[in-house]
Structure 1
Amino acid sequence: MNQRISSIIQEFDAQGWHRTGTETDNRSARWLVDKGRSLGLDLELERFEFDRVVPRDCYLEINGRRIQGLPFFDGGFTSPDGISGRIGPIGSGSEIGLGEIVRGTNQASQDFRRSPGHLALVAVTLGGKPGLMATNAPAFRQPFGPPVLQVSSEEQDWLTGHAQGNSLVRLVAAAERVGAESFNVTGRVKGSSQTLPPVIVMTPRSGWWQCASERGRGLACWLEVVRHVVSSRPGRDVIFVATSAHELGLLGLDNFLGRRPGLAERAHVWLHFGADVGLESQVSFTDDELKSQTLTALEDAGASPVTHAPYGTTVGAESLVVAGLGGRVVALIGHSALFHLESDRWAQGFDTDSIGRFANAFANLALQLSKS
């Protein structure tokens, strides 16, 4: 199993940036279909259309030096000439406001751009490691606010000095929206009873960069569950879905649910592999019965350590949506210092033993739930 997991993550990493609707994203969808079919599951592509954001020139220029950046995909953009003015701290009234975005402060990143009096904003992104930590676009369908240019944490001190001195700068966050398509990957293993509601196993498959840990771990686990379920005889249908557009307001999940009205609540249970499976893992459950079943499966597989989300909390963006619609959900996420950083790449240090234990736990749980 370790070799299988390593191979999946390495192949996924080598494909390139997995941004939704790109050539890499769509090629990766077909790759995943082939992987599932090799295991005996007839996976299919479910296409959806949207307007993809294509960044052009995106930088901050001060005294002849340019810092490359990435715009918010659900915010405003500039013309190719950009916006010129003085830079100062958020709330200073300067034309360009400088602030910070810290990992785990999703609401703060949304409030960041509501600061009045600025024509554009610069966001120093502070992740677990140095670099540019890209921010998801929950308002992708309804963009709002001024242009926001995200830049690397490595520029924080230099930019703070210029903001304190109200230096003259030019911010360019040029981008355009173009028609595009992406795909969810989905398939079904038929159970012995067609009258029972299904178990659903889901994981996102898109992201900002290569996302070797963030997305690759979950996909490797998802395929291991496919392998186990296909070789067994589940009592009820088990539906598998790997969604695209995780980073763009969960467009893929919305499309999947939109094709299947009422499925969120009707399904027996949803099992969700979130980001960075096997690293400082956290699990959540929507009811006590699922908690007991999940903890037993994790213990039996030796999948530890794992912390429990606070009571009433659901982890994972997709799981939050499903739970909010009345679905029963078990969700698993992890924590990596490289989360949303371009440096999230395959490395020999990946603990494939740990990933495999979580895959086995959820495979056994899926089969148990399919027969209950």
Structure 2
Amino acid sequence: MGTGISRRGLIAAGATASGLSVIGGGKGWAGQISADPVDPFHVASLQRDLETYDGFGIHRSGGTANRAVLNWMEAEWSQIGYSTTRQCFTVPSHDDYEARLVLPDGATLALAAQPPFRARHEVEGRLCYATLAGPMGQAADAILVAELPNGRHSALDGPLIAPFLAMAREVEARAIILITNGPSDEAIFLNTDTKRDTPLLALAAPSRAQKLRDAALAGHSARLATPAPAGQRPAENLIAQLERDGPRLVISTPLSGWTHCAGERGPGVAVMRALSRWLPGALPDHSLTLFAASGHELAELGGRLWLDNGAPDPKQTALWVHLGAGFAARDWHEPPRRLLPLNHADPQRYLMASPDILPIVRRAFADEPGLANAYPLTPDTAAGELAHIAAHGYPRVFGAFGAHRLHHVMSDRMNAVSGELVAGPARAFRDAIARILAPAHSGE
């Protein structure tokens, strides 16, 4: 991506010491908070929406929780007065979470199942330990055990993971088990394009990986069992619109992910719901489009499909605001083998904006560490969903994203986020939109 800022490069640069246990939940932090309980940006309202989203379950595309969120969002938006439609597509069913490795002595090691699932889903072979420096032993036709460098991993094509997949292909390994070293010491699920050719995969939690390492270093044989493919199932994007005579504002956020995603997806869902209640009255002359995507964990599949077929005309779009991952998740102290909650948001979060609106966006987020240092959104710096949006020619875009310490792990629950943590960024998104689209009413 040239010499610019890469989303995954920024996230990888936030690598930290690994932990073991997540302690407590702590109290959030959001600066000045409105005391009006009717205000959609009030802490209590944001907290309710976060708890509701988390409570639906594991948000894999096309699954029970994903469908429940779509129904919940659509019911509210219809009540407000938006017209709603859905865009349907198919995705693989990925509701199996467990894999296992059986060693010669009969010991069974619990692993996490990493999609895509393959028809040849059980293999036997010699284990071979590998680092970025290369395999330690005979790797051909083996099951590679890859020791990932410590990091906030997010995707299979990330810079710390892709070399291991290339290594597995080069030596024609039978499978690869990734030890996902990261802050939580848990198995980290990784976003993937299921149409790409990848080896048979499984994930090992660092906290339970020592026996696996020892077996691989000794070159023991083992049998790896991963889930069999479970076929395709329908998934949907949700689009809500309020048509007026004026220019269009688009707000987007993904709904789906590998786990409960409270800290990853919860802030975007809560802020979108708050904005959807505020926007009709705040911008009475603007057309409004709300886009809630499924398929995020599958290489932003739903968002890419809508951009290619159904998204508004860039020439008629005054502003696109994207609410990405983890921009208001909790920060943590990292003493050895555990995480201790802090009362503020993780500053390892990023804000990007089209150059002509960058000063306005920076002022709106000035009190939000990490987001206050907004970067210009250009072809060299655009990343993730923002890259797809910008590539389609939308002239004014801004959005935020991050990868917090519980990103893509099963413990990403309400301990990772709160209404207090989300309230500050929510109000900043609101204020930035008002200053860009209604400067006469915002004081700009």
TM class by smaller structure: 0.7 to 0.9
Alignment of 1:1-372 (within 5 A): 1-53=42-94, 55=96, 58-62=99-103, 63-74=105-116, 76=118, 78-79=120-121, 82-90=122-130, 91=135, 92-94=137-139, 95-101=142-148, 102-104=151-153, 106-115=158-167, 116-117=170-171, 118-137=173-192, 139-140=193-194, 142-193=195-246, 196=247, 198-260=248-310, 263=313, 267-278=317-328, 279=345, 280=347, 281-287=349-355, 289-299=356-366, 302-304=367-369, 306-308=371-373, 311=376, 312=378, 314=381, 317-327=384-394, 328-347=396-415, 350-371=417-438
Worse overlay, 11-20 or 31-40: 31-40
Distance in 2 (CA, whole Å) between partners of 1:314 and 1:185 is 28
> How much does 1:371 deviate?
4.2
> How much does 1:367 deviate?
3.5
Give a deviation string over 1:127-179, Cα, whole Å, max 9, x none. 22121110001x22x23132011121212322221111111211112321412
> How much does 1:35 deviate?
2.8
Kindly indicate whether the alpha-carbon contact (under 8 Å) linking 1:133 and 1:339 is maintained by their aligned counterparts in 2.
yes
Kindly indicate whether the alpha-carbon contact (under 8 Å) linking 2:61 and 2:91 is maintained by their aligned counterparts in 1.
no
Q: Name the aligned partner's letter for residue 361 of structure 2.
A: T
Distance in 2 (CA, whole Å) between partners of 1:164 and 1:43 is 56
Structure 1 unaligned residues grouped into runs of 5+:
none
Kindly indicate whether the alpha-carbon contact (under 8 Å) linking 1:191 and 1:237 is maintained by their aligned counterparts in 2.
yes
Q: Name the aligned partner's letter for residue 175 of structure 1.
A: A
Structure 1 residues 154 and 226: CA distance shift in structure 2, 3 A: same
Kindly indicate whether the alpha-carbon contact (under 8 Å) linking 1:250 and 1:318 is maintained by their aligned counterparts in 2.
yes
Kindly indicate whether the alpha-carbon contact (under 8 Å) linking 2:180 and 2:206 is maintained by their aligned counterparts in 1.
yes
Distance in 1 (CA, whole Å) between partners of 2:117 and 2:234 is 21
> How much does 1:43 deviate?
3.6
Give a deviation string over 1:296-324, Cα, whole Å, max 9, x none. 2224xx44453535554656621121123
Distance in 1 (CA, whole Å) between partners of 2:374 and 2:365 is 15
Greater relative CO (CA pairs within 8 A, separation 6+): 2
Kindly indicate whether the alpha-carbon contact (under 8 Å) linking 2:60 and 2:95 is maintained by their aligned counterparts in 1.
no
Structure 1 residues 129 and 77: CA distance shift in structure 2, 3 A: farther
Structure 1 residues 355 and 103: CA distance shift in structure 2, 3 A: same
Kindly indicate whether the alpha-carbon contact (under 8 Å) linking 2:58 and 2:65 is maintained by their aligned counterparts in 1.
yes
Distance in 2 (CA, whole Å) between partners of 1:370 and 1:192 is 14
Give a deviation string over 1:198-242, Cα, whole Å, max 9, x none. 221111110001111111111001111111102223433221111
> How much does 1:59 deviate?
1.4
Worse overlay, 274-283 or 98-107: 98-107
Structure 1 residues 161 and 275: CA distance shift in structure 2, 3 A: same
> How much does 1:246 deviate?
0.3
Give the RMSD, CA atoms, in angstroms: 2.5
Distance in 1 (CA, whole Å) between partners of 2:75 and 2:244 is 22
Secondary structure, counterpart of 1:70 in structure 2: strand
Secondary structure, counterpart of 1:364 in structure 2: helix
Structure 1 residues 180 and 70: CA distance shift in structure 2, 3 A: same
| TM-score, scaled relative to structure 2 | 0.75
Kindly indicate whether the alpha-carbon contact (under 8 Å) linking 1:189 and 1:229 is maintained by their aligned counterparts in 2.
no
Q: Name the aligned partner's letter for residue 73 of structure 2.
A: L
Q: Name the aligned partner's letter for residue 47 of structure 2.
A: S
Distance in 2 (CA, whole Å) between partners of 1:359 and 1:171 is 45
Distance in 2 (CA, whole Å) between partners of 1:33 and 1:315 is 30
Structure 1 residues 272 and 144: CA distance shift in structure 2, 3 A: same
Structure 1 residues 358 and 28: CA distance shift in structure 2, 3 A: same
Kindly indicate whether the alpha-carbon contact (under 8 Å) linking 2:97 and 2:113 is maintained by their aligned counterparts in 1.
no
Structure 1 residues 293 and 307: CA distance shift in structure 2, 3 A: closer
Distance in 2 (CA, whole Å) between partners of 1:74 and 1:107 is 19
Structure 2 unaligned residues grouped into runs of 5+:
1-41, 329-344, 440-444
Distance in 1 (CA, whole Å) between partners of 2:201 and 2:191 is 13
> How much does 1:74 deviate?
3.7
Distance in 2 (CA, whole Å) between partners of 1:261 and 1:351 is 32
> How much does 1:56 deviate?
7.8
Give a deviation string over 1:64-85, Cα, whole Å, max 9, x none. 2222333432474534xx2112
Kindly indicate whether the alpha-carbon contact (under 8 Å) linking 1:41 and 1:226 is maintained by their aligned counterparts in 2.
no
Structure 1 residues 69 and 218: CA distance shift in structure 2, 3 A: same
Kindly indicate whether the alpha-carbon contact (under 8 Å) linking 1:71 and 1:147 is maintained by their aligned counterparts in 2.
no
